[in-house]
Amino acid sequence: MSWKVRHQRPVVSARKSPEKLPERLQQYLANGSESVAQPFKGITSDGHTPRALFPIAPTGVPTAPIADAARAFAASLSPEQRARVSFPVDDDAWRRWSNIHPHLMRHGVPLEELTPAQRERGLALLAACFSERGFTTVRDVMKLNEFIGEVTGRWEEYGQWLYWLSLFGTPSATEPWGWQIDGHHLIVNCFVLGDQLVMTPTFLGSEPVHADSGQHAGIRVFEAEESKGFALMHALTPEQRKKASLGLELPVELFTAAFRDNFEMKYEGVRWDELTAPQRDGLLDLIDVYVGRMRPGHAAVRMDEVRRHLEATWFAWIGQDTPDGVFYYRIHSPVILVEFDHQRGIALDNDQPSRDHIHTVVRTPGGNDYGKDLLRQHYARHAHA
């Protein structure tokens, strides 16, 4: 499918939140607020949050470069901007993220309002936490959000810099802190405690996944996520494929997208111990596509964590397994949950799922999204006002 650029950015931006939300968005906002008001439990398989999965322990991977980048970003802001960007480390603003393009629940400072120098310092904070490949994916998602603005002309909704950056707590070598970026098809939550790093929930998506014209022509995202997921499904035997498949009708949205912090998801599909050695290699390779978005040292720590729970790791599939088919898959263990889904058109006009609109999410089950379990343990050890 091809889309041609028809609209150039206006000289004066008309981007603003609608004065009156449509009824469906009012309901979405109400449901989101109700979800955030519920005590955080985390993604579980049965409604019970296990403990001792995520101990406070040294990783040997320094986080000083991340803290330095956060301080440099904060120092570049005006006092008013710094006040808008700053939240307590346990603030519920962590959970007030939303993938959709209308600007609901946004907080912090939008990159679009920053000077080029301030914006570069904000991007440097993101780059300090991602691998080179991961940061490229993040920037490409932002650029494709510009591309869809060029295609549709809906500049009040789409653009490369319509992303809100927030800081939680104070960057420190010993105390908990973190940051969040929130916007259309790009949400990253990063929590830091000592030299430990948690980067979930991370939601990345794009519509379309490829720019064929305009200033960002040639950019494509999620090729590995799509092709390696498909390859793993096809590496299964017919019997395994039947067991992995949960149906043909794709979900409207990822099961653990926005406001699903306490979602209960049972283990389904085909389990690690039912796979052959080559199939296991394929599953690990697929997991590494997502974990490898993190900076290398912490990605290795995360993969070690995943490997300790491989016996309880499951792969499940929904949809078609034909070369041009659309599908959903997930990888689910006690310590990681990955979801991938082909979506119907929102900015574009296809009313059925297609390979031109993809959503992905990575979660940490067991109560450690946003580093919540590490923060709980820290508070249990240290008195805090």
Peptide bond into 251 cis (omega under 30): no
pTM (whole model) above 0.85: yes
**What span, in angstroms and rounded, lies between the C-alpha atoms of 41 and 54?**
15
Residues 127-169 have pLDDT tens digits of 999 999 999 999 999 999 999 999 999 999 999 999 999 999 9
Consecutive H or E run containing 343: strand 337-343
Strand partners, 342: 358
Q: Are 201 and 189 in contact (CB under 8 A)?
A: yes
Cβ within 8 Å of residue 138, ≥6 positions away: 126, 130, 186, 188, 204
Compute the distance between CA of residue 372 and CA of residue 198 in angstroms, rounded to an integer. Answer: 9
Distance CA 212, CA 269 (A): 37
Q: For the chain, give the longest Cα–Cα distance.
A: 62
State pLDDT tens for residues 351-364: 999 999 999 999 99
3-state secondary structure of 380: helix
Per-residue pLDDT, 21: 83
- Reported as a single tens digit per residue, the pLDDT across 239-287 is 999 999 999 999 999 999 999 999 999 999 999 999 999 999 999 999 9
For residue 11, pLDDT beyond 50 = no
